[in-house]
Amino acid sequence: MDSTNSPSTKPIYRGIQIAWYILGVIEVLLVSRFLLKLFEANPGAGFTDFIYDVTYVLVSPFTNVFSVSQVTGNIFEWTTLLAMLFYWAITMGIVKMLLMGKTVSTPEAAVKLKDQER
């Protein structure tokens, strides 16, 4: 059977699209948080407060990993960068796991195995 016409191809493709979309939303929120902290945004402003509230749950597991670097109010939040890297790595793992469910032909599998032996 041709692996491109497998019934599992479309759900895998959709799953990968969803994983990348969710990561994109998370990364945009975290970049916003990072930049707002870096440029000393007013935490009392509605948008700033919203971003900090939404992203708190995303960065809270990493809060004590690194210390915060601060120069005259501008905060370089290493924990946000670590969170971004972590969520990217998790997404890569999910995508690789979904790709493992892809149907492959015997000749295709033989070629891939031979490539991995090198």
| Predicted TM-score of the model (pTM) | 0.82
pLDDT at position 96, please? 95
Asked if 27 contacts 88 with a C-beta cutoff of 8 angstroms, the reply is yes
Q: How many CB atoms lie within 10 A of CB 78?
A: 15
What does the alpha-carbon distance between residue 38 and residue 24 come to, in Å, rounded to a whole number? 21
Amino acid 2: pLDDT: 53
Which pLDDT score is estimated for 1? 47
Q: Encoding tokens for residue 69?
A: 């670097």
pLDDT of amino acid 83: 97
Which stretches of the chain drop beneath a pLDDT of 50? 1
CA dist 98 and 49 (Å) reads: 36
**What pLDDT sits at residue 3?**
57
pLDDT score, position 102: 85
